[in-house]
Amino acid sequence: MRELALHVLDILRNTVDAGATHVTLIIEEDSARDRLTITVSDDGRGMTPETAAQVTNPFFTTRTTRHVGLGLPLLAAAAERAAGDLRIASTPGQGTTVEATFQLAHPDRQPLGDLPGTLLAFLLAEGAPQLRYEHRVMRGPAASRTFRFDTAAIRAELGDVPLNHPAVVQWLAEFLAEGEAELS
Ligand SMILES: Nc1ncnc2c1ncn2[C@@H]1O[C@H](COP(=O)(O)OP(=O)(O)O)[C@@H](O)[C@H]1O
Ligand SMILES: [Mg+2]
């Protein structure tokens, strides 16, 4: 079974291909509504309505480098297997929002998997945009936890030290792992 984190990495990579400079990833687990929602928004080049209508078809791609074109169809299939769906809202020249929903407790809902690893891989990639991340876990009105971070704040803190400095990578890996662990 594939982890949702790997799908998320694919969708995040699309934002880089789209030339995005700012990306937001929000993961919300809502037990009361039995809903898991994953939203990726970017300020990249966007899609025409014609492209947006086709991108959940397997093997549709506008990339000319590799012939894959499975990122969005695989996430759509994963959502549909878990009584959810995938929605795309996009405006050419402004950006794109991809939202996947799942029934949280559905037996075929894939596990979130290694989110810290996914986030780290994305943040350290060449040309990575700024990322604002929020992971909310709602287990009832009085039991809600959120882990969030913003690379803009981290970069400001680091000054001239690059994100891929070994000491920073080590710190980031621990920071992400602890933040996620505290949610469960
Ligand atoms: N965030 C995005 N912004 C603009 N276009 C996108 C975005 N995500 C996907 N697309 C478009 O949808 C197509 C299919 O995406 P995907 O299924 O991930 O396959 P691939 O990335 O291999 O082409 C891309 O080639 C691109 O044209
Ligand atoms: Mg892709």
Give the model confidence (pLDDT) of 77-130 as tens digits: 999 999 999 999 999 999 999 999 999 999 999 999 999 999 999 999 988 999
Place of tokens 């012939």: 67
How many Å lie between the centroid of ligand 1 and the Cα of residue 125? 18
Residues with C-beta less than 6 Å from any ligand 1 atom: 10, 14-15, 17-18, 42, 44-47, 51, 55, 60-63, 68-73, 96
Beta partners for residue 117, in sequence order: none
Strands 86-91, 130-138: pairing kind: unpaired
Residue 57 has pLDDT above 90, yes or no: no
Residue 37 has pLDDT above 60, yes or no: yes
Amino acid at 151: T
Q: How far apart are the C-alpha atoms of 76 and 74, rounded to whole Å?
A: 5
Q: How far apart are the C-alpha atoms of 139 and 13, rounded to whole Å?
A: 30
Residue nearest to atom 13 of ligand 1 (CA): 61
How many Å lie between the centroid of ligand 1 and the Cα of residue 70? 9
Mutate to test the pocket of ligand 1, among 8, 16, 55, 131 (most ligand atoms within 8 A of CB): 55
**Of 8-12, 63-67, 94-98, the least confident:** 63-67
C-beta of residue 97 within 8 angstroms of C-beta of residue 86: no
Residue nearest to atom 15 of ligand 1 (CA): 69
Is the pTM here over 0.85, yes or no? yes
C-beta of residue 136 within 8 angstroms of C-beta of residue 145: yes
Tokens read off for 107: 């037996």
Phi, psi of 79 (to 5 degrees): -65, -45
Beta strand residue intervals within the chain, DSSP E: 22-30, 35-42, 86-91, 95-103, 130-138, 144-150
With residue 177 as reference, give the H or E element that holds it: helix 166-181
